[in-house]
Amino acid sequence: MSPRLSLFTANKAASALRQPSAVARAQRSVALPLRFREQSAPAQKRWNSSQNNKKGLSPDEQRFPTQDPLPHVGEEAAEMDRIMSKEKSCDGQPSSPELEQGSPVAEILQRDKEGLKHMPKVMQDQLKRRAGGSRSFSTSARSPQPDLQNSESQEDISAAVLADMIQQVNEQAAARLPEGLKFDVPVMPAQKKTLNFRKRYDSMQEQFTKMLMHDGKLARAQKNMSIILDHLRTSSPPNINPRRPLMGGTPAPQLPLDPVLYLTCIIDSVAPLFRIRQQKGIAGGGTAVQVPYPLNLRQRRRAAIKWILDASEKRRDAQLAHRVANELVAVAEGRSGVWDRRDQQHKIGISGRANLGLAPRRR
Amino acid sequence: MASSWCWSCLSRLRATPTPRAILPPQSITPRITTASFHSSAVQYANPTKKKGSLVAVKYRQGQTLRRKKKKTTERARPPAVGERKALRKRIVLSNPNALEIEGMQDLSSETMVDARLRGSVLGLPVPMLDQLRAVQAFKPKQGWSIFRRPGTVLRRDTLEMARLFEKISGEGDGAEKGKVVKKIITGLKGSGKSVHLLQAMAMGFLKKWVVVTVPDARDLVSGDTSYSPIEGTNPTQYVQPNAVSALLMRTVEANRQVLSSLKVSQKHSALPSLKPSSTLEDLAKLGFQDAAVAWPVFQALWTELTATAAAPGMEKDFKPRPPMLVTVDGIGHWMKESAYRASDYTPVHAHDLVFVKHFLSLLLNGQASLKNGGMVLYATSTSNNPSIYTLDVALDQLAARQTGVSPSSPEYPAPEAYSGADARVLELFKPTTGKEPQFELQTLGGLTRDEARGYLEYFARSGLLREEVNESWVGEKWSLSGGGIIGELEKLGRHVRTTAQPAPVLN
């Protein structure tokens, strides 16, 4: 018996104890993609602590697995397709209604004392765990009558075992999602690109190279870039100023071996968050008001690269590439004037925050 | 109108003009500098123009918009003389950031012939680096600077060469002591010709040979060193004393251990200052100080190194001379007319330079000349290389002869009619006659996939390459590098392909 099938029937068993609305949801839970399964978890929790609820169910309200109402035509077709094509049992046969809607294991176990002894090891383990009181979840807080827990009937035990199993599956599913995400990780556009569309250089490296370029001579700029990267690769690891740490937190001795990362850390560390726009006409009297204006990542980097290239022009080294490389190392060590420039920009921006409301809204 | 106020002292000028005659002549009256004396010159002067009051319209000038030129930033000073060249020619052999490779073996007499190590990178022994630097074996653009220590791949050609070294040194089985192997090494750009020569030099040092190198053939024909004609030669030949002196320096620096152990064994009439008990190192040092005697010193050193027996009367402490390794890089420059001029301003052919001629003659009579055996390796170059049609034809002819094409057959390549082929170059590459064996043409190709893998693993283990080096990846790079051309592989290996981490979210 494949695990999937057992879980289906397990859900059926649990459904006997649930509100009708919860039944349909729980039935779907395994077949649905991971992200929708969360919804079934509260139903189980309630179920675990509500053994006295079932007495309230009249025979009319009780629903049996074979009593499902007929779905809509489209749904039925989709379901059929799913059964025929996707839902194969382990031997490759399409799953049949017998398997899906057969007698639930819980019911059988209720009837069959002997079967309870010889039930599968997984279920026995679950039973033991439950008896030992080392269950992975707690029911004590929710139970209205804690004293009744000890006097559980046999059917309750088997049903609880199944619930345990379901919960395990759900926990596994939840574990697969990254922390803090309710749904699957969204697919970023960069990941959708095919393998045939590859960039030769890292995007930041490419941006820097093109800003190094003079007179449209890209090949020369690329050569300079490679000299810069080699300089970063061979120069001694930076002595990082604790007041001006590099972003990313890579240990300084490891930076030179990955020059592109090194370069990225340097650029991103001195990149300003916004530019200052001189906005006229909002304060009146023709005075310009300084309004900070947010930049996106590429724009931020552009500003930082521009500053670094400007600062490198004042250096004395013979080669352009060496001037830039030395300036980059100076930035990494917190010696460069680029840091001051960034601090100043941020200072103006912070004082100009008050003017944000004055600026006319742009689309 | 002139202002009635004095501009400099703010005192009132006299309103009425003073008659000139009242004033005594200037030469008579003593000049008083302390008090301001107002002469009439101020009043006769033209009225001062008010600034900006009147702008003269210049009719004859163009009315086009003139933009201000962007100011160039003032740097403190330009780099010192020679700094740029020093930077360009700098050779860095170590990168302390790169990882030390565990278990990397050194090139030694045992490892260089070990076929099991084929495809692995062998480090050059650290004490030898000074010798290799002295003979200028490393070239500036070869990318030694990114590794912890220099190393070379043991490829098939290297192994074959190492076996030749063993044979000529008289070791191993099938030793052929005294044999001279003469080769011209060609290959595509980046196929490792210069590094092949470097490996040969390293092996030469390991085997205690005498290594004589010309690191760049262009230096001798580019007209940068002094030259002077030799009397009584026809056609006139030229000697380059400073270049010879530099060669002697290189040779002594690199082969000091060998040369200092050998004593002078011949009589040199051109060098009267030479003592009979001096070593070959002392002999070569004579040429350092005085460039004028550099050429006779070089000739004397050459006869000493190729001697098989001592001259009569000088048999005391004669030691057999070691084999010699002679390498030249960039042989193409020697196959054309040099930048030097004769006295009638006709260009001097490179073969008329006696230094060049000496080395080229080893191709023709190397076996006869190098009596103690050795190896003559001349490599073509593909960077900064003259395009010489005759050399291309001559190399084609050599290759054809090696494949068994008879020089009389119609398939044998010949220079085109009226192409102006250089007869002297064709003469050099003519099939040799007599006992002298023909020099060979060795074409370096790409690495095999296994060798390429070993080479790329070297990058990965040095921490420079962050990729999984597996069969498919290596195959891809092998194809991208034009079938394992090692220079291209190096570019691919050092090329930084790692994607930088996603940008941290700024807050």
| DSSP assignment string, B139-163 | -TTS-GGGSSS-EEE--HHHHHHHH
| DSSP assignment string, B312-343 | TT--TT--PPPPEEEEEE-GGGGGSEEEEE-T
Are B98 and A202 in contact (CB < 8 Å)? no
Are A314 and B75 in contact (CB < 8 Å)? yes
Q: Which helix (H) or strand (E) holds A139?
A: none
Predicted pLDDT of residue B504: 42
- Which of B391, B354, B380, B376 shows the shortest CA–CA distance to B437? B376
Mind telling me how many Å the CA of A171 is from chain B's nearest CA? 30
Mean pLDDT in residue range A253-278:
93
Q: What is the mean pLDDT of each run of 10 residues along chain B (507 residues)?
A: 64 55 51 57 65 60 74 70 88 93 93 94 95 94 92 95 93 83 95 96 95 95 94 92 94 94 90 86 90 92 92 84 95 95 95 95 89 94 92 95 92 93 93 86 95 95 89 93 94 69 42
Interatomic CA distance for residues B484 and B490, integer angstroms: 10
Contact call for residues B291 and B300 (beta carbons, < 8 A): no
Predicted pLDDT of residue B334: 96
Predicted pLDDT of residue B200: 96
More confident residue, B10 or A262: A262
- Which range has highest mean pLDDT (A187-201, A314-328, B42-56)? A314-328
Mean pLDDT in residue range A18-25:
42
Query: What's the CA angle centered on B7, arms B4 and B12, to 5 degrees?
Result: 40
Predicted pLDDT of residue B16: 52
Predicted pLDDT of residue B289: 84
Pick the residue from chain B with its C-alpha nearest to A238. Answer: B97
With 60 as the cut, is the pLDDT of residue A149 above it? no
Mean pLDDT in residue range A202-228:
95
More confident residue, B51 or A33: B51
Find chain B residues with C-beta within 8 A of A271's C-beta: 506
Find chain A residues with C-beta within 8 A of B496's C-beta: 202, 205, 229, 258-260
Predicted pLDDT of residue B503: 41
Are A202 and B99 in contact (CB < 8 Å)? no
Predicted pLDDT of residue B368: 86
B70, B91, B97: which to substitute to probe chain A, counting the most A Cβ within 10 Å? B97
Mind telling me how many Å the CA of A260 is from chain B's nearest CA? 6
Of B145, B496, B501, the CB nearest to A229: B496
- What band does A321 get if pLDDT is binned at 50, 70 and 90? very high
More confident residue, A236 or A94: A236
Range name among A15-29, A135-149, A347-361, B56-70 with the lowest pLDDT average: A15-29
Structural domains in chain A? 3-143+151-176 (no CATH), 203-357 (1.10.455.10)
pLDDT tens digit sequence for A281-290: 777 777 888 9
Mean pLDDT in residue range A31-57:
43
Predicted pLDDT of residue A188: 78
Distances (CA, A) of B493 to B175, B456, B462: 39, 6, 11
Predicted pLDDT of residue A78: 82
- What band does A159 get if pLDDT is binned at 50, 70 and 90? confident
Are A260 and B98 in contact (CB < 8 Å)? no
The letter for the amino acid at B499 is T
Mean pLDDT in residue range A298-315:
95
For chain A, the residues whose C-beta falls within 8 A of a C-beta of chain B are 202, 204-205, 229-230, 233-237, 247-248, 256-261, 263-264, 268, 271, 273, 297, 300, 313-319, 322
Predicted pLDDT of residue B338: 95
Contact call for residues B394 and B429 (beta carbons, < 8 A): yes
Predicted pLDDT of residue B66: 76
CA-based end-to-end distance of chain A = 60
Pick the residue from chain A with its C-alpha nearest to B82. Answer: A318
Mean pLDDT in residue range A267-295:
88
More confident residue, A193 or B358: B358
Are B87 and A264 in contact (CB < 8 Å)? no
Contact call for residues B456 and B465 (beta carbons, < 8 A): yes
* Strand A274-280, strand A288-294: pairing: antiparallel
